[in-house]
A and B are shown apart, each in its own frame.
Chain A
Amino acid sequence: MQFDAPAGSNIFDDARIVGKSTPRIDGPNKVTGTAPYAYERHDVVADQAYGWIVGAGIAKGRITSMELTAAKAAPGVIAIVTAPDTQPVGKGMDNHAPLFGGSEITHYHQAIACVVAETFEQARAAAALIDTNYDRSTGSFDFDAVRASAPRSGEAETLGDFETAFAEAAVQIDETYTTPGQTHAMMEPLATIAAWDGDKLTLWTSNQMITWAKESLGDILGIDSANVRVDSPYVGGGFGGKLFIRADAVLAALASKAAKRPVKIMMQRPLVANNATHRQATHQRIRLGARMDGHITALSHQNWSYNVEGASGETATAQTAKVYAGANRLTAEYCATLDLPEGNAMRAPGEAVGHLALEVAMDELAEALGMDPIELRVVNEPDAVPGNPGKRFSDRNLVRCLREGADRFGWSERSATPAARREGRWLFGVGVAAGYRGAPTCKSGARVHLADGRIVVETDMTDIGTGTYTIIAQTAAEMMGVPLDHVTVTLGDSSFPASAGSGGQWGATSSTAGVYAACVALRRQIGEVLGFDADDARFEDGSIVAANKAFRLADAGTLSAEDTIRFGKFKKDYDVATYAGHFCEVAVDAYTGETHIRRMLAVCDAGRILNPLSARSQVIGAMVMAAGAALTEELTVDTRFGCFVNHDLAGYEVPVHADIPHQEVIFLDTLDEIVSPMKAKGVGELGICGPGAAIANAIYNATGIRVRDYPLTLDKYLDRLPAIA
């Protein structure tokens, strides 16, 4: 099915199941341990051996020797695959750091061996017996040291004459914000079971993008990807860290070949931060020039980041062309090359940290103008895409998000003067930030089967904890006129039709549109079998009414249909995006500087919300992640050893329950005709775009102290807190 024009009215406008809060259909499996994650799939293949990954102990150099005698002789050892004895494997999609093979070390904890043994404990013990010697070389690990000489990546985006307009502006803001490296810290580390049958390879793994995974494995292993099957029905969190093939999958495949047995590997937690990918640090300079009435006349956002050779930085300017009006603009990205681990996608790549700068700069501008920060944003609401005035917005309700949020949150009670509200030892403050995240779509296929009046959906779409199973079931139930429990959804298997996968918050609307397309095809088949015009029929409660005649779905027998939704060029005329107003109240301890979040609110504009219950879960999860980014999360680089030192969940502090006392999410009742037949947009990344800045702005409102270096830990402002008696 081709989506070539705005959706117009369709079945979902009178939906009975889609758009209703629906508990996840896989919930009972998850809470009873019957939704197996990759490493727990003991029953998929017999005789599984255990693999243990050895990570490099240096960040740059060469392996000069690996002594394996003791490890090979250790109890239970079946095989050892080493990098020096393996030809470097190929590169997969968007894969920049080497995954395995050869003696060259390009980053800390790069995989250099995999030990396979009868038990997990034996593999781990034997791995510790490998004695590796290195020839260390000098690496470049210090972002601050190389930042100034980082080359520009891509063209700068310019409009009008920024420099002149900024110089002439009545009010100017020129500030620099820094964000540190972050790790995905998903609950389920990267994990894979691999088995060979002749030249056919099956991987039971944890991956967000099944079609990419299958194709990449062909390139990485130098085999025909048609011989690869990937299966990933449950994913314990990804956040972008599982978009691409990583060392767990590569080593499971290589080790399984060497061991001549299926091999299972879970990347040990202390290896994940340095072995896999991370969100890179940024250094962002923002200049805003405005008239006294608040209209922005000059807007510049320059961002410096880094990556390994040939890969792009954390593109923090991603949202800046889209959010606020301003005739004179300059946006540029610079990317240094470092010998740190590979930077790659993490939830709302670019935008998550871009908002931490842009939305604080707006707060600073509002204060300089003596304006309310919401009014400043409203004044600068654009009519067309500011950085690309030829482009329209498909459906944009940012002002509503901010206004309705202000009402709900009690914004009018905010003190415009910072540090004005103290109760005992606590300083209270509130903050606001706008949120923008694009709403892309990708072609997505599905197959639907009808038998006995029941529906089975097959697609290689993934559920990374987001609720995909449920929204797909809702879509199929709506389309076929059956109750939800008459739909079985099967996901994540590369033998199923290729889907959009889970990433970039495109999964929900794309994959359900693909299921819609397949259901349209199935309805037409049913119409042919039973003799009615399916496009003019109503499917309800297991029955079909067409041209005043009634049919029973079950009478159509056993049928299957498959289709793929493809999105047409007409969408290129529009900026299709999601918007939010984020609000936060904090209390800051006037003695110690500890920040306690009191409450958070997100008002989201994302078109039709397919399942408000699971969408809310996505948004509150993203708000928690944003709180971590604002307050605690930081991968600390040791520039002597070239590694992230705090590479476990004790040292890398994600928020705990006690940090997040109260969260509220409101969805506007909007519809976006341009995005897809569902008129729905994703929310998984919208939720992390803005809350961190709202927290930072609330801390300023509470204390009068502006810190522009994330995370906002108390050591950075302790000496600026009120004097103690």
Chain B
Amino acid sequence: MKAFTYERATSPEQAAAAVAGRDGAKFIAGGTNLLDLMKLQIEAPTHLVDLQDLGLDKIDATRDGGLRIGALVTNTALASDDRVRAQYGVLTRAIVAGASGQLRNKATTAGNLLQRTRCPYFYDTNLPCNKRAPGSGCAAAEGFSRQLAVIGTSDQCIATYPGDMAIALRLLDATVETVMPDGTGRSIALADFHRLPGDQPWLDNTLAEGELIISVTLPKPIGGRHIYRKVRDRRSYAFALVSVAAVLHDDGTGRVAFGGVAHKPWRSEEAEALLPQGAGAVVERAFAGAAPTDDNKFKITLADRTLASVIAEARS
């Protein structure tokens, strides 16, 4: 870990300006991913702007019947909120499928979205990784790739977005509200928030320098059966091989998003329109153009079978 300076932000605008105005500055909230990466010197910020005094820890109803979740609401608080549990069950289920109780107590809503999209080679500073050391190559493409992305990859990077919460947020058409260093704000659809690796795999999302998330908004509830199925090698504290977030209605329509398969939460509105035809049709469309490795091509079969199981569960 490199030495760094530290300040406590006093307002979102001040925080954004503080990070934008300084090379190598970063925000810190729960720190559950950033601190790990700093210890390995994969992240080496020169200055940390701590957000803990900003409030931003409330969940408020919006005028159009949704919920606005403060950026610093912890994963535990969000998952256990009565309104979330009752009306956005897939979000609660996704959150509690992730990490561990200790981590969820500390991790925040915005921080969870910003955990690094990653790969075993990203974590070993001796080995090539374009995400960590641009231009060094992708060791995973012909290496240990069982956990990694099968679609939306590039020849630069096949890392997977590891989170669970964002898969449900993507399913629910959440939006991310931010404040810019100049004090203006904007709203980013979750669909556009995370990015594919392309030829800039070191960029995980579309935030600008210094842009700070202040909240995440859920549109009004959509009803239906809410299911989150995370398939993994062990039953806790493991990333998904494949996860399926779904909201399914009695008429066979619904929404579906996949985790563990791409550099971002993976949802295809075209594909989910095929839900009444069953899992096979949805997965075939959602994974059209997939480029898996020999080690991870099973994920497409697994996505198909997991979605079939989810549909069967919704019907039962």
Please give the residue numbers on chain A whose beta carbons come within 8 Å of chain B beta carbons, in ascending order.
57-58, 75, 121, 124-125, 128, 270, 425, 589, 591-594, 596, 631-632, 636, 638, 640-641, 643, 645-648, 650-651, 653, 655-659, 711, 713-715, 718-719, 721, 724-725
Q: Which residue of B lies closest to A656 (CB)?
A: B236
Given A646-B144, A715-B146, A718-B302: A658 touches B236 (CB 8 Å cut-off):
yes
Cα A594 to Cα B240 with chains together (Å) = 12
Question: CA–CA, A641 to B121, complex, Å?
Answer: 11
Q: Assess whether B312 is in contact with A425, with CB atoms less than 8 Å apart.
A: yes
Cβ-neighbour of A656 out of B39, B234, B304, B305 (below 8 A): B234
CA–CA, A631 to B238, complex, Å?
A: 14
Whether A636 lies near B144 (C-beta < 8 A) is yes
Q: Which 7 residue pairs across A and B have the least CB separation, nearest first?
A: A57-B126, A591-B309, A658-B235, A715-B298, A724-B308, A656-B236, A645-B144
Decide: A632 and B312 in contact? CB cutoff 8 A: no
**Shortest distance between the CB of B281 and any CB in chain A (Å):** 13
**What's the Cα separation between A601 and B192 when bound, in Å?**
51
Bound Cα distance from A657 to B234, whole angstroms: 10
Is the Cβ of B235 less than 8 Å from the Cβ of A656?
yes
Closest approach, in angstroms, between the C-beta of A260 and any C-beta of chain B?
26
Least CB distance from B288 to A in Å reads 20
Q: Give chain B's interface residue range (CB within 8 Å of chain A).
A: 35 or more
Chain A residues with CB under 8 Å of B312's CB are 425, 591, 725
User: Is B120 close to A, CB under 8 A?
Assistant: yes
Interface residues of B in 112-147 (CB under 8 A from A): 120-121, 123-127, 139, 142-144, 146
- Check if B41 is an interface residue, CB within 8 A of chain A: yes
B308–A591 touching, CB < 8 Å = yes
Name the residue among B143, B233, B301 with the largest chain A CB count within 10 angstroms: B233
B171 interface residue per 8 A CB criterion: no
A121 and B1 in contact, given A592-B302, A721-B305 (Cβ under 8 angstroms): yes
A713 to B296, alpha carbons, bound, how many Å?
12
Q: Is the interface of B mostly helix, strand, loop or mixed?
A: loop
Provide the residues of chain B in CB contact with A653, threshold 8 Å.
233-234, 238
* Chain A CB within 8 A of B51 CB: no
Can you list 25 residue pairs at the A/B interface with Cβ under 8 Å?
Answer: A75-B3, A124-B1, A270-B123, A425-B313, A591-B305, A592-B309, A632-B233, A632-B234, A638-B127, A638-B139, A638-B144, A640-B142, A647-B124, A648-B123, A653-B234, A653-B238, A656-B235, A656-B236, A659-B234, A714-B231, A714-B233, A714-B298, A715-B241, A718-B298, A719-B301
Please give the distance in Å from A139's CB to the nearest CB on chain B. Answer: 15
Residue in chain A with minimal CB distance to B143? A638
Interface residues of B in 40-85 (CB under 8 A from A): 40-41
Partner of A645, one of B120, B236, B309: B120
B237 interface hit (Cβ, 8 Å): yes
The DSSP consensus for interface residues of chain A is: loop
A725 to B143, CA, bound (A): 35
B45 CB → nearest A CB, Å: 14
Q: Quick one: given A718-B305, A724-B308, are A594 and B231 in contact (CB under 8 Å)? A: yes
Name B137-170 residues within 8 Å CB distance of A: 139, 142-144, 146
Query: Is B108's CB within 8 Å of the partner chain A?
Result: no
Distance between Cα atoms of A643 and B120 in the complex (Å): 12
Nearest CB on A from B24, distance (A): 15
Judged by a CB distance under 8 angstroms, whether B25 is at the interface is no
Which residues 1-58 in B have Cβ within 8 Å of A in the complex? 1-3, 39-41
B309 pairs with A589, CB closer than 8 A: yes
Q: Name the A residues within 8 Å of B3 (CB-CB).
A: 75, 125
Give the CA-CA distance A721 to B304 in the complex, in Å: 13
Within B261-316, which residues are at the interface with A (CB < 8 Å)? 279, 298, 301-302, 304-306, 308-309, 312-313
Tell me the minimal C-beta distance from A281 to chain B in angstroms: 15
Cβ of B231 and Cβ of A592 under 8 Å apart? Answer: yes
Closest to B303 in A: A592
- A595 (CB) vs chain B CBs: closest residue: B233
Q: A121 CA to B35 CA in the complex, in Å?
A: 13
Complex Cα gap A40–B125 (Å): 29
A425 & B309 in contact (Cβ 8 Å cutoff): yes
> Contacts of A591 on B, CB cut-off 8 Å?
305-306, 308-309, 312
Chain B contacts for A725, CB-based, 8 A: 308, 312
Q: Name the contact of A724 in the complex, choosing from B41, B237, B305 (C-beta under 8 A).
A: B305
Shortest beta-carbon distance from B139 to chain A in Å: 7
B143 pairs with A640, CB closer than 8 A: yes
Given A128-B41, A658-B236, A714-B231, the answer on whether A645 and B143 have CB atoms closer than 8 Å is yes
Bound-complex Cα distance A589 to B279 (A): 17
Residues of the A chain whose Cβ atoms lie less than 8 Å from the Cβ of B237? 650, 656
Q: B139 near A125 (CB under 8 angstroms)?
A: no
- Does B241 lie within 8 Å of A714, measured CB to CB? yes
Contacts of A589 in B (CB 8 A): 309
B144–A58 touching, CB < 8 Å: no
Per-position 1/0 for B233-256, Cβ under 8 A of A: 111111001000000000000000
User: Which residues of B are found within 8 Å of A711, using beta-carbon distances?
Assistant: 233
- Once the chains are docked, how many angstroms separate the CA of A598 from the CA of B135? 48
Report yes or no: B127 in contact with A641, Cβ–Cβ below 8 A: yes
Q: Closest CB-CB distance, B202 to chain A, in whole Å?
A: 19
Q: How far is the CB of A135 from chain B (nearest CB, A)?
A: 15
Contacts of A641 in B (CB 8 A): 126-127, 139, 143
A592, A632, A656, A657: the one within 8 Å of B306 (CB): A592
A685 to B229, CA, bound (A): 37
Kindly provide the distance from the CB of B223 to the nearest chain A CB, expressed in whole angstroms: 25
Contact of B305 among A592, A643, A645, A647 (CB under 8 A): A592
How far, in whole Å, are A713 and B126 apart by their CA atoms in the complex? 29
Contacting pair B235 A596 (CB below 8 A): yes
Cβ contacts under 8 Å, B279 to chain A? 724
Nearest CB of chain A from residue B146's CB, rounded to whole Å: 7
Given pairs A651-B120, A713-B233, 12 additional interface contacts (CB within 8 A): A75-B3, A591-B312, A592-B302, A636-B146, A646-B120, A646-B144, A653-B238, A715-B302, A724-B279, A724-B305, A725-B308, A725-B312
A94 and B2 alpha carbons, distance in the complex (Å): 39
The CA of A57 and the CA of B126, in the complex, are separated in Å by 5
Which of the listed residues B39, B234, B279 has the most CB atoms from chain A within 10 Å of its own CB? Answer: B234
Measured CA separation A58–B232 after assembly (Å): 31
Nearest CB in chain B: distance from A119 CB, A? 11
User: Complex: how many Å from CA A643 to CA B126?
Assistant: 11
Inter-subunit contact B121/A645 (CB<8 Å): yes
Q: Which residues of B contact A651 (CB under 8 A)?
A: 120, 123
With a CB–CB cut-off of 8 A, which chain A residues contact B39? 124
Smallest beta-carbon distance A375→chain B, Å: 34
A655 to B235, CA, bound (A): 8
Residues of A within 8 A of B238 (CB): 653
